[in-house]
Amino acid sequence: MQVHRSIQSLRAALKNARRIAFAPTMGNLHAGHVSLMEQARHHSETVVSSIFVNRLQFGPNEDFDKYPRTFEADCAQLDAAGVAHLFAPDEAELYPAPQQYFISPAQAQDSILEGACRPGHFRGVATVVAKLFNIVQPHVALFGKKDYQQLMVIRNMVRELAMPIEIIGCETIRASDGLALSSRNGYLSPDERAEAPRLHRQLAAIAEAVRAGRQDFSALEVAAVSHLREAGWAPDYVAIRRQQDLQAADARSPLVVLAAARLGTTRLIDNLEI
Ligand code: AMP
């Protein structure tokens, strides 16, 4: 695997690549990231990944400074997963001057769920992903459903801005107890780690209830929020929504249940398609 610190070096290396699949990350890689790279191999000749902890998508009181940085171990995993080129710029390379042009996602998507809890988050995500797309110029790009709303924002950005890139959503990889793999799981104490799968269990219970015919969605949401509170969590939301646009659920559309909740100081998100 070649590691590129500069845009120029990456562009030179990709000059003659025929079909590029790209999966961006913020590093501290786990099996969820690796599954993206493995799927990328099926879609292209040349797999490109990136590691960049993007300051633009972190709020002022979020974990940008303490976000885990494990570059050597990440490289070994990417290499083993068949990644040919890793783009790992520093901030001065990607943002040589403060970024002044931004991609602002549609209000309808930016103002709900993660967007409501993390103002400016999706603007930071869309801006860096657009910039990375311009640098890598992939034919295919892969993102995890773990970040369901992020996947939707990127799909819509690509469609509305006519970017010639196929977006592929990849299934969430979980630990054997159901907890969705996440770099932030490393913040959990042993006791919190033992408690953490409750989030997935709540989502699974809601999905099962809806599949069995329950249509009192807000009662299900409220019950899950209070159950999590009683177990010591601070939930931001539990929400049953339409898969296509994450707007209010109706009986005819495919649905997804999404949740975000803080356990101690760690904020976890998860979702399940119903
Ligand atoms: P991150 O490094 O957290 O920005 O994630 C990079 C990519 O990996 C994003 O597309 C995430 O949605 C995806 N991802 C993160 N966790 C998982 C997981 N448990 N399963 C599948 N994809 C994941």
Mean pLDDT for the chain overall: 97
Residue with the smallest CA separation from ligand 1 atom 18 is 32
Q: Which ligand 1 atom lies nearest to the CA of residue 183?
A: 3
Regarding whether 142 and 30 lie in a shared domain, the answer is yes
Tell whether 177 is covered by a domain.
Answer: no
State pTM to two decimals: 0.97
For residues 29 and 244, give the distance between their C-alpha atoms in angstroms, rounded to a whole number.
28
Q: C-alpha dihedral over 15, 17, 21, 26, to 10 degrees? A: -40
- Classified as helix, coil or strand, 144 is strand
- Classified as helix, coil or strand, 77 is helix
Q: Is the pLDDT of residue 126 over 90?
A: yes
What does the block give as tokens for 236? 């931001």
Tell whether 166 is covered by a domain.
Answer: yes
Regarding whether 194 and 163 lie in a shared domain, the answer is no
Tell whether 10 is covered by a domain.
Answer: yes
Tell whether 130 is covered by a domain.
Answer: yes
User: Which CATH number does the domain housing residue 13 bear?
Assistant: 3.40.50.620
Contact predicate 145/169, CB 8 Å: yes
Regarding whether 220 and 113 lie in a shared domain, the answer is no
What pLDDT does residue 251 have?
81
Residue with the smallest CA separation from ligand 1 atom 10 is 143
Answer whether 239 contacts ligand 1 (Cβ < 6 A).
no
User: Catalytic residue positions?
Assistant: 33
Per-residue pLDDT tens over the stretch 131-153: 999 999 999 999 999 999 999 99
Regarding whether 47 and 132 lie in a shared domain, the answer is yes
Tell whether 230 is covered by a domain.
Answer: yes
Q: What is the mean pLDDT of residues 198-223?
A: 97
Domain carrying residue 214:
183-273
Please give the distance, rounded to the nearest whole angstrom, from the Cα atom of residue 146 to the centre of ligand 1.
6
Please give the distance, rounded to the nearest whole angstrom, from the Cα atom of residue 99 to the centre of ligand 1.
24
Sign of CA dihedral 245, 181, 235, 225: positive
For residues 169 and 190, give the distance between their C-alpha atoms in angstroms, rounded to a whole number.
31
Tell whether 137 is covered by a domain.
Answer: yes
Residue 12 contacts by C-beta under 8 Å, 6 or more apart in sequence? none
Q: Which ligand 1 atom lies nearest to the CA of residue 146?
A: 12
Regarding whether 33 and 6 lie in a shared domain, the answer is yes
Please give the distance, rounded to the nearest whole angstrom, from the Cα atom of residue 147 to the centre of ligand 1.
7
Cβ neighbour number for residue 31 with a 10 Å cutoff: 13
Domains of the chain: total? 2
Percent of the chain topping pLDDT 70: 100
Cβ neighbour number for residue 196 with a 10 Å cutoff: 23
Regarding whether 204 and 153 lie in a shared domain, the answer is no
pLDDT band for position 201 (cuts 50, 70, 90) = very high
Per-residue pLDDT tens over the stretch 65-89: 999 999 999 999 999 999 999 999 9
Regarding whether 165 and 42 lie in a shared domain, the answer is yes
